[in-house]
């Protein structure tokens, strides 16, 4: 499936007193990975929201293997797990500059029709891009 790589520099405010990334910041890195995955496909969250699609996260699973630290350059690898239906599932790996695996994670998001606030199928324009 489609995979992207996003580089992120760990900022001071994302760490604790030991200079280690606070565990609650990793979902933000995953979100950045998803955002860039979608952008590389030719869309943006903003564009999808303007076109009445919302993508809330319904599941998040993270396994912490090693810490990222202040000023590290980390790489978020974001991979689509399956062709989307009413949900879209991603798998992530986060590495440091030495290529050490720091985190693995999975997220599930659902497609919501903004006007009705009901779950809907993945939009055709997204499915066409994935097939092409």
C-alpha of 117 from chain center: 22
**Can you tell me the distance from the alpha carbon of 84 to that of 131, in angstroms, rounded to the nearest whole number?**
11
Residues 45 and 32 sit within 8 Å (Cβ to Cβ) = no
Residue 71 annotated to the active site: no
> Tokens in use for 8?
């992120």
| Cα torsion 10, 15, 20, 21: sign | negative
Task: Please tell me which residue in 16, 71, 72, 113 is annotated as part of the active site.
Answer: 16
Residues 10 and 69 sit within 8 Å (Cβ to Cβ) = yes
Helices of type H across 1-123: 26-41, 45-50
Active site residues: 16
């Amino acid at each position: 499936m489609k995979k992207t790589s996003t580089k992120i520099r760990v900022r001071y405010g994302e760490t604790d007193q030991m200079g280690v990334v606070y565990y609650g910041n990793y979902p933000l890195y995953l979100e950045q990975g998803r955002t860039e995955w979608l952008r590389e496909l030719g869309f943006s969250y903003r564009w999808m929201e303007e076109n009445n699609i919302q993508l809330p996260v319904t599941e998040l699973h993270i396994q912490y293997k090693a810490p990222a630290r202040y000023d590290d350059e980390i790489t978020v690898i974001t991979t689509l797990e399956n062709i989307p239906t009413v949900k879209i599932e991603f798998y992530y790996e986060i590495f440091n500059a030495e290529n050490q695996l720091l985190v693995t994670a999975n997220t599930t998001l659902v497609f919501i029709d903004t006007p009705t606030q009901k779950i809907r199928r993945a939009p055709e324009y997204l499915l066409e891009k994935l097939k092409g």
